[in-house]
Amino acid sequence: MWEGRALTARRDIAALATSGMGVAALHSAAIEVVERVIGSELTCWAGIDPATLVISSMTSGAARIPAEYEPRLAETEYAGTVPNSFAELARRDHQVARLSDLPHRDVVGHRRLNEVWRPLGIEHEVRTTFTVDGDCWGAAGFVRGGPDFSDREVEFLQSVAPVIGAATRVAVRTDAHGYRGGAGPSIVVTGPSGEPRAITAAARTWQDELDEIAPGRFGVLLRAVDTGTRAATSGTFQARVQTASGGWVVLQGSRLIGEGDTDDQVVVTIEPASGRHLVGMLLAAYGLTVREREICLEVISGHTTNAIADRLSISPHTIQDHLKSAFAKVGVRSRGELVATLRPDDLTPAQAGVSCLR
């Protein structure tokens, strides 16, 4: 019975992948498929940037967590000390986890359980990530008051999660080409705990749009970027996230170097995502191999086959073989079409005229 349910769900989700939906719409439809089998009081699905493991979008089921708990729930994702965060699960080989399977001491002190679920009368949680070809494209959490999630339900999630990952990867391609512009470059200065100390009027516009997805989301993202920036040896950190309109923005954090307490501050710039911000994610979303990604980036930079051969120390014939494979995966027939698909906003007339045989 369970095997049949999993097969049906995988088929239904695979069909959704061909619909042209963006990530949020896909996840909304997939929630209905999964919840035919996994009963829950609340469920929240996330799109995840595979490069940084930062949450880029959020989609709830029919019931939504009360607004006052949204910031607390989001904070536990980026604290770095709360077991079974989506980022932690993405790094594991086994990517479905029940809260009850943690050691007793971890359950007793679990922040998400104590600060969010128990006040809502909920005791049980199961989480999974949506990973395909080593890249995490999304994640989901399911919670209910009782009974606990069964071994069969865990096996079901293990069975359908990779298909959801593959469908999400396809949906990213739709979202990456659907950006409609935004408020322009904006600046926020954060303090030692990631709290905003100064914010421009343009940044307020982004705050309003991001908080449409979930109350307090903007503040949580600031803390995530602040934490990543402070942890990075380079002193910089970047996150790509989706807005309520379905477009993408980039949050770039940099340590502020100065005298006095300015060393404890981080400058976060916010700007609409361009092709250069999204190209790496698109290359992964189309399922290109590492070598194919390298060659495509060289093509996007305008280098000829011979120049690429010299730069990568491989033969021109091998480059053409890799390009043919990349063309097939992306669904194009020439270098010009490849650049137009992966970097449409940066396409120049010279690049548009490049032949696939050059």
Q: Do 223 and 253 sit in the same domain of this protein?
A: yes
Q: Do 236 and 348 sit in the same domain of this protein?
A: no
Domain final residue, candidates 158, 176, 194: 176
The pLDDT value recorded for residue 349 is 35
pLDDT tier for residue 357 given thresholds of 50, 70 and 90: very low
Burial class (CB in 10 A: 0-12, 13-18, 19+), 332: middle
Q: Do 78 and 51 sit in the same domain of this protein?
A: yes
Say yes or no to pLDDT of 350 above 80.
Answer: no
The CATH number of whichever domain residue 226 belongs to comes to: 3.30.450.20
Domain final residue, candidates 176, 208, 228: 176
The CATH number of whichever domain residue 307 belongs to comes to: 1.10.10.10
Q: Do 251 and 302 sit in the same domain of this protein?
A: no
Q: Do 168 and 81 sit in the same domain of this protein?
A: yes
Residue pLDDT, tens place only, 62-86: 898 998 888 888 888 888 889 999 9
Percent of the chain clearing pLDDT 90 (strictly above) = 44
What string of DSSP letters covers 15-41?
HHTTTT--HHHHHHHHHHHHTTTS--S
Query: What is d(CA 187, CA 143) in angstroms, rounded to the nearest whole number?
Result: 37
The pLDDT value recorded for residue 185 is 54
Query: Does residue 73 fall inside a structural domain?
Result: yes
Nearest to 20 by CA among 243, 248, 173: 173
Query: Does residue 135 fall inside a structural domain?
Result: yes
The domain in which residue 205 lies consists of 186-274
The CATH number of whichever domain residue 16 belongs to comes to: 3.30.450.40
The pLDDT value recorded for residue 182 is 47
Query: What is d(CA 52, CA 238) in angstroms, rounded to the nearest whole number?
Result: 8
Query: Does residue 233 fall inside a structural domain?
Result: yes
Query: Does residue 280 fall inside a structural domain?
Result: no
Query: Does residue 357 fall inside a structural domain?
Result: no
What string of DSSP letters covers 148-184?
PPPHHHHHHHHHHHHHHHHHHHHHHHHHHT-----S-
Query: Does residue 283 fall inside a structural domain?
Result: no
pTM (two decimals): 0.75
For 282, residues 6+ apart whose C-beta sits below 8 A from its C-beta are 172, 173, 176, 341, 342
Query: What is d(CA 223, CA 213) in angstroms, rounded to the nearest whole number?
Result: 17
Q: Do 11 and 154 sit in the same domain of this protein?
A: yes
Say yes or no to pLDDT of 335 above 60.
Answer: yes
Domain final residue, candidates 176, 206, 225: 176
The one-letter amino acid at 16: L
Mean pLDDT of 327-331: 93
Q: Do 215 and 293 sit in the same domain of this protein?
A: no
Q: What pairs with residue 59 in β-bridges?
A: 45
The pLDDT value recorded for residue 263 is 56
Structural domain count of the chain = 3
Q: Do 49 and 169 sit in the same domain of this protein?
A: yes
Q: Do 55 and 163 sit in the same domain of this protein?
A: yes
In eight-state DSSP terms, residue 333 is S
Residue pLDDT, tens place only, 137-150: 999 999 999 899 99
Residue pLDDT, tens place only, 267-301: 898 888 877 778 888 899 899 999 999 999 999 88
Q: Do 82 and 224 sit in the same domain of this protein?
A: no
The one-letter amino acid at 309: A
Q: Do 80 and 160 sit in the same domain of this protein?
A: yes
Residue pLDDT, tens place only, 15-35: 888 777 889 999 999 999 999
pLDDT tier for residue 178 given thresholds of 50, 70 and 90: low
Q: Do 170 and 204 sit in the same domain of this protein?
A: no
Residue pLDDT, tens place only, 187-241: 888 888 888 988 888 889 889 888 887 788 898 889 889 888 888 887 788 888 8
Residue pLDDT, tens place only, 31-67: 999 999 999 999 999 999 998 888 888 899 989 899 8
Query: Does residue 279 fall inside a structural domain?
Result: no
